A and B are shown apart, each in its own frame.
Chain A
Amino acid sequence: MHTNLLLSVQNLSVAFDTRHGRVAVLDKVNLNLHKGETLAIVGESGSGKSVTAYAALGILDPAGKITNGKVEFEGRNLLELSSQEMRKLRGRDFAMIFQNPRTALNPIRKVGRQIEDVLQAHNPGMGAKARKEAAIEQLASVKITDPTRRYNAYPYELSGGMCQRVMIAIALACKPRLLIADEPTTGLDVTTQVVIMDLVHELAQAHGMATLLITHDLGLAADYCSRIAVMHAGQVLEDAPVATLFKGARHPYTARLMAATLQPGITLEKLVSIPGQLPDLRQPQPSCRFSTRCERCLPQCKEPGLALMPYSNNTSHLIACRNPL
């Protein structure tokens, strides 16, 4: 099992230096992703999902500092690599796609050229002609019709769904082993969402590529992933296979998140919102950052020493809670 581990994030803490002082955005985040596996990170807006991905890829804002922890990719600690070595891994071994595909592409460069830029960055020896052919082939692989013509298109000439396909083509150009998809369908209409997610899923299967899907939609996570990690205010609160989680979520926050998600059999009236809002991270936080919003909160919940641990000796179901359901 250990040899199968692709990405391992261990006790990752990230702080941002802002005008209001230091904000501890991530608090000891732990995630494990095996080869070919599909993992979803689910959480409210602002819970630190994107920051986790950026920190792992080394594209964090200069204001963000990694204060603790390790990120291992196939056993190598990425945080010890030089920025030059990291650059060579990005796009080749792991790649990322983003929300708002229209703004994620260079607006004044032909999309074909943008694919070529990635190919050139990672295969310096490739000739211009071979590169162009590869770029067109890449456009065809994401099911863009008439790829030879679309090679010359600018992003503003394409629809949002088309732009996301191009993003996927760019991300997968060098056949990475890990794809991080940060809310790839936010900002697209519902039908396009399904098409794009199916495409990502299909390509990942075809290449045996692991996928880390970042979303705030539990339903989407359940449809396309085998495991779900639930994040809240920079902490991973529960991490379990989809079936386990939907049968018996153990963390009060996960349970509330489920109750707030549309599922078959639940009517709109039964949909419950989660009380309170994300804690203000500029203030010192108790050990469990959910405790202020939790109705099962015990006095010891505020004490230090909270950790992600197997629930009742089930190593695939991890939970960080002192008073689970």
Chain B
Amino acid sequence: MGLNESLFSQFWIYLKDLLQGDMGRSFTTGQPVTQDLMERLPASLELTLLGLFIAIIVGLPLGMLAATHPNSWIDHICRLLTTSGVCLPTFFTGLVLIYIFYYLLGWAPAPMGRLDLFSSPPQDVTGFYLIDSALAGEWAIFRSALAQLILPSITLALFALAPLARITRAGLLGVLNSDFIRSAKAAGLPRRVILVRYALRNSLLPVVNTMGMVFSYLLGINVLVEKVFAWPGIGSYALEALIASDYAPVQGFVLSIAVLYVLLNLIVDLLCSLIDPRVERAA
């Protein structure tokens, strides 16, 4: 491993290995870190993406309704959710959800990973259990995977909801007060056209940027949520390695999160240029 070499040559060895896709070996699992990460990454991504998806389908309409009905009850609900969403730490929300829905009500399955004890993973295609089980037509596995996903993804969604709803509301309110909305009204365009084609599309830019930001927060927050729900993703892997002073997995984790961030920003930029022709010009 070259631990007796100078720091520079250690770093050099590390870089050379990295170029060949070798991130070292984990002391605790005894496997190459790259292989460990690749096995666990789909679990993390499936959870995070579902959390983001729930946050979007709830947060965007909520922010829209709040903006079009300022100071109504829906606006107050929006304000309450966005404030509490950022105030509560996610591991705490996760624990409260487990306490209520698993322990008290018994509606949710035990927070023990991606599947219940009696199911086996579906045939591996994408690594996302929901997609793989649906592809294989194994609906029992699909249900089990979904049931396991619900509480942790809601935990993440509650956190991601706050910034999304807030930015949607603020962005839409700003756009609704702008000059071109007034001219659209003066031209007699129907309300729905004004709201969707004129107002919403113009307020989407900050929303998409926030989505990117929220997703990268979620990747970080995952570490704790995965721990709480015993989720076999890269977050809990890194946390266990950290506790065991197993440095290679931690390095590998940080590096892969950084790569994900970069990819994410690229996607966000591409989306923005799709929405706004001016962005393309500036790039």
Residues of A in contact with B (beta carbons under 8 Å apart): 57, 59, 87-92, 95-98, 100, 103-109, 117-118, 121-122, 154, 156, 167, 170-171
> How distant is A142 from chain B, measured CB to nearest CB, in Å?
15
Q: Which residue of A lies closest to B189 (CB)?
A: A121
Report B-chain residues with C-beta under 8 Å of the C-beta of A109: 197-198, 201
Is B183 part of the binding interface, using a Cβ–Cβ cutoff of 8 Å? Answer: yes
> How distant is B238 from chain A, measured CB to nearest CB, in Å?
41
- Provide the B177-191 mask, 1 if CB < 8 A to any CB of A, else 0: 011101111111111
Residues of B in contact with A (beta carbons under 8 Å apart): 178-180, 182-191, 193, 197-198, 201-202, 275-278, 281
> Contact: B276 with A117, CB < 8 Å?
no
> Contact: B183 with A108, CB < 8 Å?
no
Which listed residue, A91, A107, A154, touches B188 by the CB 8 Å rule? A91
> How distant is A60 from chain B, measured CB to nearest CB, in Å?
10
CA distance A120 to B89 in the complex (A): 50
Report A-chain residues with C-beta under 8 Å of the C-beta of B201: 108-109
> Contact: B179 with A108, CB < 8 Å?
no
A-B contact pairs, 7 of them (CB 8 A): A59-B186, A87-B189, A88-B188, A90-B185, A108-B202, A122-B188, A171-B187
> Contact: A104 with B185, CB < 8 Å?
no
Which listed residue, B183, B188, B275, touches A121 by the CB 8 Å rule? B188
Report B-chain residues with C-beta under 8 Å of the C-beta of A89: 188
Which listed residue, B179, B180, B187, B191, touches A91 by the CB 8 Å rule? B187
Which listed residue, B180, B185, B191, B193, touches A105 by the CB 8 Å rule? B180
Instruction: Tell whether A104 pairs with B179 under 8 Å between CB atoms, given A109-B197, A117-B197.
Output: yes
> How distant is A45 from chain B, measured CB to nearest CB, in Å?
17
Report A-chain residues with C-beta under 8 Å of the C-beta of B188: 87-92, 118, 121-122
Report B-chain residues with C-beta under 8 Å of the C-beta of A121: 187-190, 193
CA distance A90 to B190 in the complex (A): 11
Q: Which 8 A-B residue pairs are closest in the complex by CB-CB distance?
A: A91-B188, A90-B188, A91-B187, A103-B179, A96-B186, A104-B183, A59-B185, A118-B187
CA distance A98 to B184 in the complex (A): 11
